[in-house]
């Protein structure tokens, strides 16, 4: 059974989004996604200060099985990346919702961010995507 925290929002591309303050979200990939990938051996993260557009490929996860794109779940600017993943990419497998986070996006407007996050999938919606 795939673990899905209730306090997160999800995308059809298997990213999770956590609002960490009024204008910032943290992003990673879901437990389902990491289990499909297999052992993660390399993570290429976006550069800090990069402006991203929702749906754009902005990072890559390389596993023993394949290379997968990570998509921007929302429009925003990359303000932090998880540098732990440079040395320990397997953290994506062992703790996808904690230390395995990938990057943070910032928005100019808290209400616009709230609106954008509200349009992402909740747990029930994501379970439909993964057939759960």
Model pLDDT, residue 23: 97
pTM for this structure?
0.95
CATH number of the structural domain spanning residue 78 = 2.40.50.100
Q: Tell how strand 57-63 and strand 51-52 pair up.
A: unpaired
Question: Mean pLDDT across the chain, nearest whole number?
Answer: 96
Confidence of residue 1 (pLDDT cuts 50, 70, 90): low
Residue 59 lies in domain: 9-120
For 21, half-sphere exposure in the C-beta direction (CA atoms, 13 angstrom radius) is 8
Would you say residue 68 lies in a domain?
yes
- The span from the CA of 40 to the CA of 11, in Å, is 20
Nearest CA to 2 among 20, 42, 29?
Answer: 29
pLDDT digits (tens, 9 = 90+) for 14-70: 999 999 999 999 999 999 999 999 999 999 999 999 999 999 999 999 999 999 999
Residue 89: what pLDDT?
98
Q: Is residue 3 domain-resident?
A: no
Please give the Cα distance from 47 to 80 (Å, whole number). 8
In a domain, 104, yes or no: yes
């Amino acid at each position: 059974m795939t673990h899905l925290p209730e306090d997160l929002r999800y995308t059809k591309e298997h990213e999770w989004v956590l609002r960490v303050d009024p204008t910032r979200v943290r992003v990673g990939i879901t437990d389902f996604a990491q289990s499909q990938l297999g052992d993660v051996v390399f993570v290429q993260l976006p550069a800090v200060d990069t402006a991203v557009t929702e749906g754009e490929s902005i990072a890559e996860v390389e596993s023993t099985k394949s290379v997968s794109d990570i998509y921007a779940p929302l429009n925003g600017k990359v303000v932090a990346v998880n540098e732990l993943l440079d040395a320990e990419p397997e953290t994506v497998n062992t703790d996808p919702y904690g230390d395995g986070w990938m990057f943070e996006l910032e928005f100019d407007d808290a209400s616009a961010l709230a609106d954008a996050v509200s349009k992402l999938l909740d747990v029930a919606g994501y379970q439909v995507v993964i057939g759960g």
